[in-house]
Amino acid sequence: MIHSLFLINHSGDIFLEKHWKSVISRSVCDYFFEAKEKAAEPENVAPVLQTPHHYLITIYRGKLFFLSVVQTEAPPLFVIEFLHRVADIFQDYFGECSESVIKDNVVTVYELLEEMLDNGFPLATESNVLKEMIRPPTILRSVVNTLTGTWSNVGDTLPTGQLSNIPWRRAGVKYTNNEAYFDVIEEIDAIVDKSGTTVCAEIQGVIEACVRLTGMPDLTLSFMNPRLLDDVSFHPCVRFKRWESERALSFIPPDGNFTLMNYHVSSQNLVALPVYVKQSISFFDSGPCGRLDITVGPKQTMGKTVEALMVTIHMPKAVLSANLTATQGSYTYDLATKVLVWDIGKLNPQKLPNLKGSLSLQAGAPKPEDNPSLNIDLKIQQMAISGLKVSRLEMFGEKYKPFKGVKYLTKAGKFQVRT
């Protein structure tokens, strides 16, 4: 399926190539560069391109292009999903997925890519399995390596996970402190129109788990109000039948960090927005200037504080500079990208933050047709805006008492206010 992979950096240099079948010349990437040239932004390059003999499927992530070459019909999502999985694994192994890190660990990267695909078909994509075969770099090991040059990257035990029917968990896990943490993170996607009415709002939730438990624990996570969850997707470890019948998550967890579940509370349910924004941005016909006035206030926060509040505005090209005063926080205006960022911080309900002032336009340029839209960022600790609550976590199959913890967090996802 997947013939070759090229990693390309932001400026268009190919810095790594890997072929799973016969070698394909890197000149095939020229078609991609051509498309990249045409699209102004790297995000705008079409993910699927056709060339005379090959098909190029690309993802853009962390300022890197992962370009895969496919020769015959293959589901494009299959390839895209795999490429993202590769990027996830790099992230997991090296802490970040960037050009410099990949170049520094080129041998490990190559060994990983070798194991992940056989003849272009995914072989091992579970991080737990891969970590048994190829050890992630650690500081200690890199020190020992430079001193003696003997410590090997490759695990000396052969992985058993792949053979078992729970390929996501490695065998023989041991911890002195047994702990299981679950983070319920919800993101609000919303569009609010000029007059402040909600055009659409929905919640995207995810349960991130960090499980460090000895042996083969069998966990059951149940909710106070599982009825909220009508659209879910699971990590393969979750037993679907149990979910169907009892609405509880029953699973043997992978070792370490993983995403247990994703859920979606759709716009048909009413979603309470935690903040409101009062804004007026106007440009005058007479003279090259405009006025801006934004106030943010709390709406439905259930008594919790809104933190890390931030407003980002992509200004029209004609806006030269901004002369504003903020009653709270600070603002910056990037002249090159025309992005105005107002970093507010904590929202104080007694004294609402306000940003006010004038915008100066390029002389002679026509007044911008439209007003820019506002993107809101925020965080609320210890609250899941959908109201989802974990009721308990039970463990079977092992004797010890693990330490358990659940954390809630609400964030703004794609929260946009039109003006």
Partner 1 sequence: NSGTKIHGNRCDGGIKCLKQASNATTTFLCSAAQPLSPPSSVLRNEDLKEMLESNKESLKLEAMKRVVGLIAKGKNASELFPAVVKNVASKNIELKKLVYVYLVRYAEEQQDLALLSISTFQRALKEPNQFIRASALRVLSSIRVPIIVPIMMLAIKEAAADMSPYVRKTSAHAIQKLYSLDPDQKEQLIEVIEKLLKDKSTLVAGSVVVAFEEVCPDRIDLIHKNYRKLCNLLVDVEEWGQVVIISMLTRYARTQFTSPWKEGASFEENNEKAFYASDSEEKSERTEAEAYVMDPDHRLLLRNTKPLLQSRNTAVVMSVAQLYWHLAPRHEVNLVTKSLVRLLRSHREVQYIVLQNIATMSIQRKGMFEPYMKSFYVRSTDATHIKTLKLEILTNLANEANISTILREFQTYVKSQDKAFAAATIQAIGRCATNISEVTDTCLNGLVLLLSNRDETVVAESVVVIKKLLQTQPTQHSEIIKHMAKLFDNITVSMARASILWLMGEYCDRVPKIAPDVLRKMAKSFTAEEDIVKLQTVNLAAKLYLTNSKQTKLLTQYILNLGKYDQSYDIRDRTRFIRQLIVPNEKSGALNKYARRILLAPKPAPVLESAFKDRDRYQLGTLSHSLNSKASGYQELSDWPAVAPDQSVRNVEVVEPVQEWAPSVGKTKKLKSDDKFYSDNEEEKAEEESESSEGSSSSSSSSSGGGKMVADVYSRASFQVTAPSFGPVKTYELLHHMTGKGLSAKYHFPRQPCLHQPGMVAVQVTLSNGSDRSLEEIHVGDRSPASLNIHCFNTIERLEPEASVTVSMGIDFSDSTQAANFQLCTKEDGFSVSIQPAVGELLMPSSLSEQDFSREQGEKKILQAPLVQLQAKCALLLCVFNIRR
Q: Binding partner 1 by CB under 8 A: which of 153, 214, 222, 305?
A: 153
User: Do 315 and 360 meet the contact criterion of CB atoms below 8 Å apart?
Assistant: no
Binder among 100, 138, 225, 233 for partner 1 (CB under 8 A): 233
Q: How far is the CB of 80 from partner 1 (least distance, A)?
A: 5
Q: Where in 296-335 is the site for partner 1 (CB under 8 A)?
A: 314, 316-317
| Rounded distance between C-alpha atoms, residue 127 and residue 121, angstroms | 17
**Using CB under 8 A, which of the segments 43-51, 90-98, 298-306, 355-363 binds partner 1?**
43-51
Kindly tell me which of 149 and 303 has the beta carbon lying closer to partner 1.
Answer: 149
Residue of 195, 286, 303, 369 interacting with partner 1 (CB under 8 A): 369
Q: Which is nearer to partner 1, 123 or 302 (CB)?
A: 123
CB under 8 A, 24+ apart: contacts of 380-383 = 380/274, 380/301, 380/304, 380/305, 380/306, 380/307, 380/409, 380/410, 380/411, 381/304, 381/305, 381/307, 381/408, 381/409, 382/304, 382/407, 382/408, 382/409, 383/301, 383/302, 383/304, 383/408, 383/409, 383/410
Report if residue 150 touches partner 1, rule: CB under 8 A: yes
Give the burial string for 27-62 (b: 16+ CB within 10 Å, else e).
Answer: ebbebbeeebeeeeeeeebeeebeeeebbbbbbbbe
Q: Which of residues 71-90 bind partner 1 (CB under 8 A)?
A: 71-78, 80-82, 84
By CB under 8 A, name the one of 239, 356, 379, 407 that touches partner 1: 239
Q: What x/- string results for residues 197 through 216 when contact with partner 1 is judged by CB under 8 A?
A: --xx-x-x-----------x
* 365 touches partner 1 by CB under 8 A: no
Interface mask toward partner 1 for 87-126; x: CB under 8 A: -------------------xx-xxx--x---xx-xxx-x-
Query: Between residues 28 and 328, which has the closer beta carbon with respect to partner 1?
Result: 28
Among 37, 38, 100, 154, binds partner 1 (CB under 8 A): 154
21 forms part of the interface with partner 1 (CB under 8 A): yes
Question: What Cα–Cα distance (Å) separates residue 323 from each residue in 45, 258, 326, 356?
Answer: 36, 46, 10, 8
Taking the C-alpha atoms of residue 80 and residue 78, their distance in angstroms, rounded to an integer, is 6
